[in-house]
Chains A and B, each alone.
Chain A
Amino acid sequence: MSRKSRIRLLIGDVVGMVACFALFVVPFIFMLVNALKDRKAANRLSLAWPENPQWSNFVEVLEAGNYQILTAFKNSTILTVGGVLCLVICGSMAGYVLQRRSDRVTKAANALIMTGLMIPAAILPTIWVLQTLHLYKTMTGMILVETALQIPFTVMLYRGFISSIPVELEEAAVIDGCTPGNLFRTIVFPLLKPVTSTLVILNAVTIFNDFTNPLYFLPGKDNITVQVTLFHFMGQFSSSYNLLFADVLLITVPMLIVFLIFNNKIVDGMVAGSVKG
């Protein structure tokens, strides 16, 4: 490589890192430092390092509203795990059949499901349906709604991935007397692991961070989820930014951990998924 282009790349590195830092890292540092200040210092909203870090902010946030945030974490976890499980099971089965068969039934089913990628959910009638089924304000209802909302994307990714799996394997298994259910469970599903892990991460992030749907479908104190508590805290702690940011930080931490563990997988998976999708 010539010296000139090497210098140009070095400048690119420096400029890129500085831009990344200013645009994307500073807001997170801002959250962190203000979460650790006392009330008066935090209300100045500056980027200065806290003089003596107030770890007690986190305790205070945890205790607020009778440990409301712990309830919220419990609910969000149930919702996320339940939703992701439902999505992986239903989505992989549907994507599998939709890719392998091409007749009137599957074409119609595919067209129907894909409308969900564009059309917005009709909210109040959904509440009406939930109420009719006695599922309104229940975790089960909320899990089913999240599943319905994410199923088009999930099926699309599964369908795309399954097209890259050779069909001969399945034919051989059927000749050996494997039933369709066993064939899917023991042979096909394990092969879907890469796309499954991408979908688990993406759907978990989406459901955990979902604010709008729990706001509508899970009202009430006992059913509160983390994003909704965050929104309530915004009103409650409007004059104590330290607590507000401590809360923001607490709620961002699970995602930060997910990010640190699966960082490469997410980006690679997204890349693979979006090329095929």
Chain B
Amino acid sequence: MNKKKIYSTWFLVPALTIFIVFFLTPMALSLFFSLTVWDFNGFTFCGIENFIMFFEEKSLRIGIRNSIVYAVLTCVFKLGISFFIALFLTSKIKTKTIQRSIVFFPNLVSTVAVGITFTALMHPSKGLFNKCLTAIGLPGVDWLVNPDLALFSVIGVEVWKGLSIATVIFIAGIQSIDKTYYEAAVVDGANFWQRVRNITIPLSRSAMNSIILLSFIGGLRGFDLIWSMTGGGPGFATDVMASIIYKQYLSGFYGLSTAGNVIMLVVIMLIAFPLQKFLLSREVD
């Protein structure tokens, strides 16, 4: 049978057209426009000046560092915490269905709404977090006001919101593990933690890899939570690559903004692609 005739190439055309025109073309163009000073009506070529500026200006450079810190920390915490939640929610407890739903719900709430709520909870004098701290005799914390702390406060909220998806993926991974492994381990006298270490962790590695990649890349691209909680402030303390791209766009520096986009692309390619290769090579079948 002629496969090309039944599964006609025409079926690919709509998806490919939209993807090429609205995703790949802009990406290719960004490589060019990042070398220019431009607006939507014209451009002047300026070489790699935008990139030099990006690395020389402290307020721009900090974005690259913050994005990497943000991506690494959110990824590590999401992975660690969601593993234990998933472990807990795949055990024999009775209320696991309802608990799964509750854990999943933050995933449906918009990031901006989460940002607003947590900004209020982290209010320096009136916020619930600080009230709880003072109630047990601890001094309040300037969650979003202290420049050294603000990024970590946002990271905490990002972890809170991202746990849901990571947990669901982990639950799927853990549930797909063949039960006979556990039974055999019990017969051999392995205790709970030994079973977790020697069966659950290695056999849910593909779920783990999905979570690492998803949250790492998501973290490098992160924008809306940071923008709705701090707007990059105080000062430039929580500026990440994506928020710098937006700020430069607002101030009309389109070349710089596009250069920021290209840097983000390069950072992702330099870190995420090798990471993916490494993770896939360690996956067991």
Contact = CB atoms under 8 A, between A and B. Distances in A.
Interface string A250-272: 01100110110001001100111
Interface in B142-184: 160, 165, 168-169, 171-173, 175-176
Interface in A177-226: 180, 183-184, 205, 208-209, 211-212, 215-216, 226
A227 B168 contact: no
A14 B207 CA distance: 28
A255 B14 contact: no
A262 to B, nearest CB: 10
Interface residues of A, number: 99
A227 B24 CA distance: 26
Interface stretch (B46-54, B70-78, B98-106, B277-285): B98-106
B242 to A, nearest CB: 8
B258 A275 contact: no
B12 A230 contact: no
Given A124-B30, A274-B207, A96 B11 contact: yes
Contact of B12 (A30, A106, A209, A272): A106
A148 interface: yes
Contacts of B4: 101, 103
For chain B, give the interface size range: 35 or more
Given A120-B221, A125-B30, A275-B173, A27 B121 contact: yes
Interface stretch (B55-63, B109-117, B133-141, B194-202): B109-117
B185 interface: no
Nearest to A102: B3
Contact of A144 (B18, B116, B131, B246): B18
B102 A30 contact: no
Contacts of B7: 96-97, 100-101, 180
Contact of B18 (A27, A90, A272, A277): A90
A105 B10 CA distance: 11
B254 to A, nearest CB: 5
Interface in B234-285: 242, 245-246, 249, 254, 257-258, 261-262, 264-265, 268-269, 272-273, 276
Contact of A128 (B29, B118, B168, B228): B29
B19 A148 contact: yes
B22 interface: yes
A126 to B, nearest CB: 4
B12 A174 contact: no
A212 B273 contact: no
B270 to A, nearest CB: 12
Contacts of B268: 118-120
Contacts of B210: 274, 277
B23 to A, nearest CB: 4
Interface of A: 9, 12-13, 16-17, 20-21, 23-25, 27-28, 30-31, 34, 43-47, 86, 89-91, 93-94, 96-98, 100-101, 103, 105-106, 109, 112-113, 115-116, 118-131, 133, 144-145, 147-149, 151-152, 155, 170-171, 174, 180, 183-184, 205, 208-209, 211-212, 215-216, 226-227, 230-231, 234, 241, 244-245, 248, 251-252, 255-256, 258-259, 263, 266-267, 270-272, 274-275, 277
Which 4 residue pairs of A and B lie closest in terms of their CB atoms, listed nearest first? A122-B30, A94-B15, A148-B22, A125-B26
Given A123-B249, A123-B257, A126-B26, 19 more contacts: A20-B99, A20-B102, A30-B120, A44-B126, A90-B15, A91-B15, A103-B3, A121-B23, A122-B29, A122-B261, A128-B29, A128-B33, A144-B18, A174-B1, A211-B111, A211-B112, A230-B113, A270-B165, A275-B176
9 contacts: A13-B93, A31-B113, A90-B18, A100-B6, A112-B16, A120-B221, A125-B29, A126-B23, A230-B112
